[in-house]
Amino acid sequence: MHEARVHLVDVETGVQPSAIQRSINLPHSSIPQKKIEDASELRAAKERALKVESIAKRVIHGWIFKSDSKHKGYHLAYQYALNHAATDMARAMWALEDWRSLVSPMAIRNTLELGMKLPLWFVGANVVDRHQDDECAAYQEAIAQRLVRDFTNVVEAAQAMDSGRVSYEHLKSLAKAMRYLLAAAAWIMRMVGDDARSHFDA
């Protein structure tokens, strides 16, 4: 993946692209790859590409070490690195896809194929643990886990409707709804009273 990112950064910088392994599939011509003249836009594009690489490595780590099948996880990770990583980086660089709020459809598809739930950070959500020792923490965790389960089910349904692969735009809408639901549930818990009733309302 690092090799693919360096190659694409050379393209957007306008210099001779560095050599790349033949086994790595470069982005399709449907993704316009051109030199970026504006310095600030170039810097932002490089940051997006680096973010894609970093997040992809984190996702792949989960496939290999946290799924029920390490062998299948490694196989999917290897295939992703060869066939999809460069395309995802190119989309982030030139089509402005933002992995800080949503990872790619292929990453989500492989995660579901491994029978894993979609983590909250897949949609850009971040849960900060409180140090206070209260029973509300258990309620909040139960709510988050239920939302994760429901979000995973909805994405699986959307995947079936979209012929096996959810579009990025469709995923973006689902991720936005997931973040709103998570925020609303947390707000209800805090504003209503941090008790069993507020958990039920949430």
Q: What is the per-residue pLDDT across 72-97, written as a single tens digit (0 to 9) for each?
A: 999 999 999 999 999 999 999 999 99
Report helix, strand or coil for 58.
helix
Q: Do 150 and 188 have their domain in common?
A: yes
Phi and psi dihedrals of 35, rounded to 5?
Answer: -70, 135
Tokens in use for 5?
């990112």
Q: Are 100 and 73 part of one and the same domain?
A: yes
What's residue 194's pLDDT? 66
Question: Rounded to whole angstroms, how far apart are CA atoms 202 and 191?
Answer: 11
122 and 70 belong to one structural domain: no
Same domain, 55 and 43: yes
Domain count, the chain: 2
Cβ atoms of residues 33 and 27 within 8 Å: yes
Q: Are residues 177 and 89 in the same domain?
A: no
| pLDDT tens-digit series, residues 8-62 | 999 999 999 988 888 999 998 888 889 999 999 999 999 999 999 999 999 999 9
Do 71 and 133 fall within a single domain?
no
Average pLDDT over residues 166-185: 88
168/194: higher pLDDT: 168
Q: Is the pLDDT of residue 163 over 80?
A: no
**Which residue range(s) make up the domain with 73?**
1-116
pTM: 0.81
Q: Are residues 12 and 59 in the same domain?
A: yes
